Amino acid sequence: MKKTFLFSLSLVALMVGCSKGNTTENKPLKIIAPVGAPAYAFYNEYNNENFETNAVPKNIIAQMTSSSENDIVVIDTTSGIQAINNGAPYKIASTITFGNFYIASTGNDENTTMEGDDKIILFGQGQTPDKIFHYLYGSEFDANIEYVAAASDAAACLVSGKNVATGSSVDYVFLAQPALQVALSNQNAATYGKASIYESIQEKYEAKNEGKKMMQASVFVKNTANKESVNTFLGNLKTNITSLLETPALLSSTVGTLELDVQKTKFGAPAAVVQAVTTKGNQLGLGYLEAFANKEAIDTFLGLFNIQQTNEEIYYK
């Protein structure tokens, strides 16, 4: 009798254990985003322990595996789609960043027009900034382009007016917001007061592509994530981004309540700086567009990177 009771109890425990392991209902969604502009789309999640950021985008891509605990991954569209093509169990749901790239002038160029003999700094050779720059400007400036490894190195060039690695004087720097605003507002910078925004890359891109937006960073949903929770999450995300663009001051009551250093580490820039650039015509390039409805724009953007047209199966519907 005792043995039968114990056996039944273990069986029940086993069944409860198994059923718990398989369900995704009521489980909060785990979200990961790179620091910078995409992270700020999640300003309302500033206190959510299931929302995580990472300072190295490649590390986020490395975690797009079947064993990953991340239900929602935010990453640049090209890397995310390439990861799916390589077998990552995710689908693209929406695009939330439509370009935050700018060319900034250091103030060193006397005629204030970017020409072939001007020294230009690009970051990430062969990566998104490099490809977009060449797509828009061709090879006209190639003779005087100097590459640096990361956006932070490019920001150092804008702040000092020099390429620290080569020692050469710099005229223009390709940079992304909010790093650009942080550099421009640095009062200790050698270029403070002289440096300014020269050109918006996304405006130039849209002009060249009949108004099609630059589908820079997107939301990817894990195949095993609970659909109902994901739909609610995506709906809330759309509402939150719309609210932020209408009322940038929302940042000060959310991310802005965190310690300044936490704002910088977790989100990539202080909330006040981001609020300033969002007020100045959405310079972070935030927005919300469903991916499947904008397949054409995504394919156009991917074309820059020689990635073949996307298959409908990779879209979250």
Partner 1 sequence: MKKFITNNYTLYSIGFILFLLIWTVISLSIQERDLIFPDPLSTLKTTFELLKTSYVYKSLGASFLKMIIGFLISLALALIFGTIAGNIKYSEKIMAPTILILKTIPTASLVFLFLVLFNAKYTPIAIVALISFPILFESVLGGIKNIDKDILDALKMENCSEFRKLIKVKLPLAFPYILVGIFSSFALSFKIEIMAEVISGSTSYGLGSAISSAQKNNPADMAPIFAYSLIAIIFIILFSLITRLIANKLKIIDVKF
Binding interface with partner 1 (CB under 8 A) = 35, 52-56, 59-60, 62-63, 65, 67-70, 151-153, 155-156, 159-160, 162, 164, 179, 182-183, 186, 188-189, 259-262, 264-266, 268-269
Q: Please identify, using beta-carbon distances, which residue of 32 and 314 lies nearer to partner 1.
A: 32
CA distances for 247 relative to 70, 182, 242, 252, angstroms? 29, 21, 9, 10
Burial of 169 (0-12, 13-18, 19+ CB in 10 A): middle
CB of residue 265 vs partner 1: minimum separation in angstroms? 4
CB of residue 88 vs partner 1: minimum separation in angstroms? 12
Residue (of 176, 153, 155, 174) closest to 165 by Cα position: 153
CB of residue 223 vs partner 1: minimum separation in angstroms? 18
Where do we find the tokens 């997107």? 218
Where do we find the tokens 């006040």? 272
**Are 115 and 143 within 8 A, CB to CB?**
no
Q: Please identify, using beta-carbon distances, which residue of 24 and 185 lies nearer to partner 1.
A: 185
- CA angle (277, 217, 104) in 5-degree steps: 40
Spatial CB neighbours of 63, under 8 Å, sequence gap ≥ 6: 32, 70, 73
CB of residue 124 vs partner 1: minimum separation in angstroms? 14
Q: Please identify, using beta-carbon distances, which residue of 59 and 311 lies nearer to partner 1.
A: 59
Q: Please identify, using beta-carbon distances, which residue of 207 and 262 lies nearer to partner 1.
A: 262
CB of residue 217 vs partner 1: minimum separation in angstroms? 16
CB of residue 221 vs partner 1: minimum separation in angstroms? 18
Q: Please identify, using beta-carbon distances, which residue of 223 and 242 lies nearer to partner 1.
A: 223
Q: Please identify, using beta-carbon distances, which residue of 258 and 289 lies nearer to partner 1.
A: 258
Longest dimension (CA), the chain: 95
Q: Please identify, using beta-carbon distances, which residue of 81 and 183 lies nearer to partner 1.
A: 183
CB of residue 195 vs partner 1: minimum separation in angstroms? 12
Helix (H) or strand (E) holding 14: helix 2-22
Going through the chain in order, the beta strands assigned E by DSSP cover 31-34, 51-54, 72-76, 90-97, 101-105, 120-123, 145-148, 172-176, 196-200, 217-222, 286-290
| CA pair distance 245, 229, nearest whole angstrom | 24
Where do we find the tokens 């828009």? 136
| CA pair distance 274, 271, nearest whole angstrom | 5
CB of residue 154 vs partner 1: minimum separation in angstroms? 8
Q: Please identify, using beta-carbon distances, which residue of 217 and 269 lies nearer to partner 1.
A: 269
Tokens of 309: 């047209």
